[in-house]
Structure 1
Amino acid sequence: MSQREYAEDTIWWSIKNATDYAPHRRTVLLFHTNSSSLSGRPNPIKWVDNTGQVWDELRGVLETFNPNRIIINVDRNIAFGGGLHVGELEVLKEELGEQWMNRTVNEPMLGIEYVATRVPGQIKFYRDMQEITWALIEEAFSERVVHPGITTTEDVEWWFREKMQTLNVSTWNHPRVSVITPESFPGWEGTEDTIQEGDLLHVDFGITAMGMNTDTQHMAYVLRTSKGETDAPNGLKQGLKKANRMQDIALEKMKPGLTGNEILKDCLDQMKKEGIEGQMYSHPIGDWGHSAGAVMGFTNLPEYVPILGELPVLPNTFYSIELYAYHFVPERNETLRFRIEEDAYWVDEERGWEFVRGRQERFHLVNWTGEINSVARSAFQGQSPFNL
């Protein structure tokens, strides 16, 4: 790996020490496999240099090692195997010459496996992060934050941002809060709605801490307390149950070694057998929100994904099981998308995949029973609900 400050190789962030903020000057890393020929040298060998001395020393190490193959990150399609900047590649060609450049090869799975593989100690802290994520959603989708007729979806998004600041976590995937309707599928944006009684709410966001990321989607129902409602309509509950079944299918079909596209096809076939309509678009997560490894569908590629879908699913990784189920809700005379997402981890060969914290199997309920007169409503319209 050869990189400069602010022009880092993609996998630098998974290799660096926690206290490193960037590769200084020019940072060159050489990972080696033959310890006998490089006795006493660290692995990787690391140079931090802005004088050009690195190249003489690197050539000397290569002469000693005499490798048959030298992997460099030059894949044209996969970010985690293609992080060598074009300027650094040109420098390598000049400094190493044909003798060594003729031995360079492209092996994108090396970077993918390094970034994707989890170590046992991480799961405890990742579970803590999921606890934080769930706690944030449970408070946001409650009467403590949502006041029907006043609070907007954007208000709730800003509540998430401010609350994360107080918890000393950041976000890779900014909160997107939506009111779910037959037409709404806002993608990378939330909706701009004033939340009303009877609304079905949705949030998609992920927090970042300790070099890891979460990605979660939950739904909530705003009770029509003015009409005495105490629970979500049964039709909505059945829609969530159908989406939960899709999660079961995904975990059952995710066999390590199969490609993302093979797993996606198996899932779609099983859904068809069970009469479930919907879409899966699950992805690896961990060091990055959309991390290294095989994907199972994209929203715009529901049945086959070139390149990333042809990668094998790896064990000892984290995955975001992201999907939606279509379901007709009789009480509303509407077909809605029930959109959920939970992070899962590989346990072992016997147990397979399990959700890190669990999954949403019931709606968060907003149970607002207060009354606000028209003067107050006008005064507070557009303000964050936690300032009321």
Structure 2
Amino acid sequence: MTKFIIYILLLVSVCSLEAVSASTVKQGVVIEKVPGVLSPRERVEPINKILKYRLDHLLPKLMQESDLDMWLVINREYGEDALFYTLVPEPTFAARRTTLLVFVKEGDSVERFSVSRYPIKGFYETRWKGGTVEEQWGRLAEIIEDYDPEKIGINVSQEWAVADGLTQGLYKRLNRALPQKYQQRLVSAEDLVIRWFETRTKPELKVYPQIVKVARGVIAEAFSDQVITPGVTTDQDVSWYIRERFEELGLKPWFQPYVTVQRQGDDNRKDSPFFGKSDRTIQPGDIIHTDVGICYLKLCTDTQEMGYVARFGEYSVPQGLTKALAEGNQWQDILTGQFKLGRSGNEILKATQEESNQQGIFSSTYTHPLGFVGHAVGPTIGMWDNQGPTPIKGDWPLYKNTAYAIEGNVKVELPEWDNQLIQIMLEQSALYDGERVIYLGGRQTEWHFIR
């Protein structure tokens, strides 16, 4: 019963964190608690239900769109690619020798099975009775001849890593096993793989806000006087608090969290890509920033937020900082307002830059897709070291039900620091539903205030 209750709580809609963040800022203490996290055992059921929904409802549509008759996903133990783990249920730790997954388009549905020594029960029953490796590949060839597909998708790609998982050795082995006419029918499954990675389904959207809220909740803990003692705590202390807090929750970050410190007197130049330094002891009056990413229930987040450490006798955030964060939110609104179905990442970037310039905002945009991995596939909307256009990846069009890290920064003069330039770096996980961008778990609209 406890497991059922936790699962139901996980699936309910999540109220925005913005109101909680506001009360946290005003009182200077953490009110919001990090949401409960399922144990590894309890995660199996929701993960597998989501996977089954994706295979039954999403994959047939994507195979139709990509015009593939058959799709082969081939992996060897200890050489698995990221795609493999998005297609197999929990708990699956490896491909077990060589796992040959086969997907066949059958009208409006997709038939799926494996040609492997070990079946994956409930998802991929095997069509091979066992034997030598040569017999396994021979059986795959027989099945392909039986179905006689015109286009056989394999995972090879020049530009997209997640669509390039078929190794050179396995590619050669596949060709040796197939008659020449089927060798000539092998085509890249690139479009299918990208769409599989980037598309979010209804069951995923029920849990994604909660996942984001976990990440934001840990940041709220870290950017508080529960963790930071000015004059004592270093940025590294805060970084490791975030990392160890996630580990305590049974969640693995997909990169090491980091914290930077901006301080009055820093030589911040407008042409520098990033402000803030590491390896500092946090002092009163400092601006702090963190970048955090976790994956939970096979969905990843990417979050950057800002904090301010009060000086002695300071009971609110300086007005200049409030205006600076509002300008950062204004840039976010400009960016998300450019999301239009079918637009490329480069088109969205250009429109954002033009509108920001018209409004007098000095911004940099480097937004990327989110999903099964943190730096996911789909339309790249600028890069921190390439403000466009971005070839190939920036040309990918915008589809509905895709998730993004709304990431970038603005540079603003701070009156309280003698008009020294400061940088507001923001990143929040969001979904584009085909009409609007919705923040998954809210966004930062007020400062984390440490006093």
User: Shorter-chain TM-score: which interval?
Assistant: 0.7 to 0.9
Given that 1:31 and 1:45 are in contact with CA atoms closer than 8 Å, whether structure 2 keeps it comes out as: yes
**Number of positions where the alignment pairs a residue of Structure 1 with one of Structure 2:** 358
Distance 2:277 2:116 in 1: 44
Matched, 1:160 2:228: no
Task: Decide which of 69, 78, 101 is 1:29's aligned counterpart.
Answer: 101
Distance 1:308 1:205 in 2: 24
Unaligned runs of 5+ in 1: 368-388
Distance 2:107 2:319 in 1: 65
Distance 2:427 2:185 in 1: 44
Matched, 1:340 2:426: yes
Alignment-derived partner of residue 304 in structure 2? 217
Output the TM-score relative to the length of structure 2.
0.76
Distance 2:429 2:97 in 1: 37
Alignment-derived partner of residue 120 in structure 1? 202
SS in 1 for 2:178: helix
Aligned-residue Cα RMSD (Å) equals 2.0
Residue-by-residue CA offset, 1:268-317 (whole Å, 9 max, x unaligned)? 11111111111000011111011121110111111211111111122111
User: Structure 1 stretch 278-287 or stretch 48-57: which is displaced more?
Assistant: 48-57
Alignment-derived partner of residue 8 in structure 1? 80
Alignment-derived partner of residue 448 in structure 2? 364
Task: Decide which of 143, 149, 152 is 2:225's aligned counterpart.
Answer: 143
Unaligned runs of 5+ in 2: 1-72, 118-131
Residue-by-residue CA offset, 1:230-249 (whole Å, 9 max, x unaligned)? 11211121111111011111
Task: Decide which of 284, 301, 319 is 1:197's aligned counterpart.
Answer: 284
AA matched with 1:238: K
Which of the pair is proportionally richer in helix?
2
Output the TM-score relative to the length of structure 1.
0.88
SS in 1 for 2:175: helix
Matched, 1:48 2:112: no
Matched, 1:110 2:195: no
Distance 1:45 1:329 in 2: 61
SS in 2 for 1:264: helix
Given that 1:153 and 1:190 are in contact with CA atoms closer than 8 Å, whether structure 2 keeps it comes out as: no
Given that 1:242 and 1:325 are in contact with CA atoms closer than 8 Å, whether structure 2 keeps it comes out as: yes
SS in 1 for 2:242: helix
AA matched with 1:29: L
Distance 1:90 1:249 in 2: 49
SS in 2 for 1:196: coil
AA matched with 1:272: N
Given that 1:214 and 1:289 are in contact with CA atoms closer than 8 Å, whether structure 2 keeps it comes out as: yes
Given that 1:182 and 1:336 are in contact with CA atoms closer than 8 Å, whether structure 2 keeps it comes out as: no
Alignment-derived partner of residue 279 in structure 1? 364
How much does 1:190 deviate? 6.8
AA matched with 2:329: N
AA matched with 2:112: P
Distance of aligned partners of 1:243 and 1:58 in 2 relative to their CA distance in 1, 3 Å threshold? same
How much does 1:10 deviate? 3.2
Distance of aligned partners of 1:27 and 1:125 in 2 relative to their CA distance in 1, 3 Å threshold? same
Residue-by-residue CA offset, 1:158-201 (whole Å, 9 max, x unaligned)? 111221122221211221101025549797x9711000000000
Alignment-derived partner of residue 236 in structure 1? 321
SS in 1 for 2:304: strand
Alignment of 1:344-355 (within 5 A): 344-349=430-435, 352-355=436-439
Distance 2:305 2:193 in 1: 32
User: Structure 1 stretch 24-33 or stretch 158-167: which is displaced more?
Assistant: 158-167
How much does 1:6 deviate? 1.5
Given that 2:399 and 2:434 are in contact with CA atoms closer than 8 Å, whether structure 1 keeps it comes out as: no
Alignment-derived partner of residue 255 in structure 1? 340
Distance of aligned partners of 1:337 and 1:358 in 2 relative to their CA distance in 1, 3 Å threshold? same
